[in-house]
């Protein structure tokens, strides 16, 4: 049994990774740079500075990358009409089940704390989380365990008492290295053999997680 739940955000709670990837691919195309999805997915789950370093390598010349960054930010971070990334299937039902049972939840994301709060507030689920740990608060991003260790400490739980939910390989390894069991729900990239080995289970969506809350947390699942 677990007594706390820790969630990644992008690609797990909200359907954001696909939109962000497609934006970078489109911007690259417009600037004459071909970015393949298979290459882009390697940055998923990393901190923003790490993502930028890897993207800069794809664009080559620094001025070209800075031009691409400006265009991508304009499309993804408009202060007047920021994108609303929808919740992924099963998220609201799972969070409701955990809240009703008094299981505290946290977010451990590579995004900044401000971005986490903003994105989750826009889809109405921020209040489900008693703790937030962002990539801007730790020295090293996933797959380093620091952000998961921070999230567990803010829940006042030991790692062994928590269950993590992740979509990316870097995130799964981060949770595992923090001593937290992890449920993998793949998004853009199918799990590697290593991810399969360290995961408690691999699910197609969080809808399937709702069916297992009784076994994992000792509570009753919501009706379908």
pLDDT score of 124: 96
What's the total number of domains in the chain? 2
Do residues 140 and 193 share a domain?
A: yes
**Residue 224 within a domain:** no
Show the domain range for 122.
4-15+86-217
**Average pLDDT value for residue range 201-216:** 93
Do residues 102 and 63 share a domain?
A: no
Q: State the burial class of residue 43 (Cβ atoms within 10 Å of its Cβ: 0-12, 13-18, 19+).
A: buried
Do residues 121 and 201 share a domain?
A: yes
- Please tell me the pTM assigned to this model: 0.84
Do residues 58 and 123 share a domain?
A: no
With 90 as the cut, is the pLDDT of residue 224 above it?
Answer: no
pLDDT band at 220 (very low <50, low <70, confident <90, very high): low
Q: Which pair of tokens denotes residue 71? A: 């265009």
Do residues 138 and 170 share a domain?
A: yes
- 217 SS3 class: helix
Do residues 71 and 11 share a domain?
A: no
pLDDT score of 35: 93
Helix ranges (H only) for 33-189 are 37-40, 48-59, 62-76, 91-100, 113-122, 146-154, 169-177
126-173 pLDDT, tens digit per residue, is 999 999 999 999 999 899 999 999 999 999 999 999 999 999 999 999
Do residues 107 and 201 share a domain?
A: yes
Q: Which pair of tokens denotes residue 138? A: 């730790």
Q: Looking at 48, 76, 104, which one is the last position of a domain?
A: 76
Residue pointed to by tokens 């609303």: 84
Do residues 100 and 189 share a domain?
A: yes
Do residues 69 and 93 share a domain?
A: no
With 70 as the cut, is the pLDDT of residue 182 above it?
Answer: yes
Q: Looking at 76, 97, 122, which one is the last position of a domain?
A: 76
């Amino acid at each position: 049994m677990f007594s706390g739940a820790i969630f990644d955000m992008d690609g797990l709670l909200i359907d954001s990774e696909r939109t962000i990837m497609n934006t970078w691919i489109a911007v690259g195309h417009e600037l004459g740079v071909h970015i393949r999805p298979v290459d882009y997915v390697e940055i998923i789950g990393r901190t923003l500075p790490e993502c930028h370093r890897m993207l800069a390598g794809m664009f080559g010349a620094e001025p070209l990358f800075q031009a691409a960054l400006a265009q991508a930010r304009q499309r993804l971070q408009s202060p007047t009409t920021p994108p609303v990334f929808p919740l992924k299937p099963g998220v609201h039902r799972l969070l409701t089940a955990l809240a009703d049972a008094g299981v505290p939840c946290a977010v451990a994301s590579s995004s900044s704390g401000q971005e986490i709060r903003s994105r989750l507030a826009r889809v109405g689920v921020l209040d489900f989380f008693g703790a937030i740990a962002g990539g801007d608060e730790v020295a090293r991003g996933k797959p380093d365990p620091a952000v998961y260790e921070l999230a567990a400490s803010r829940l006042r739980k030991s790692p062994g008492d928590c269950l993590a939910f992740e979509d990316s390989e870097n995130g799964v390894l981060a949770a595992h290295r923090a001593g937290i069991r992890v449920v993998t729900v793949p998004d853009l990239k199918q799990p590697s053999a290593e991810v399969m080995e360290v995961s408690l289970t691999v699910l197609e969506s969080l809808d399937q997680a709702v069916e297992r809350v009784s076994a994992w947390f000792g509570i009753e699942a919501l009706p379908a």
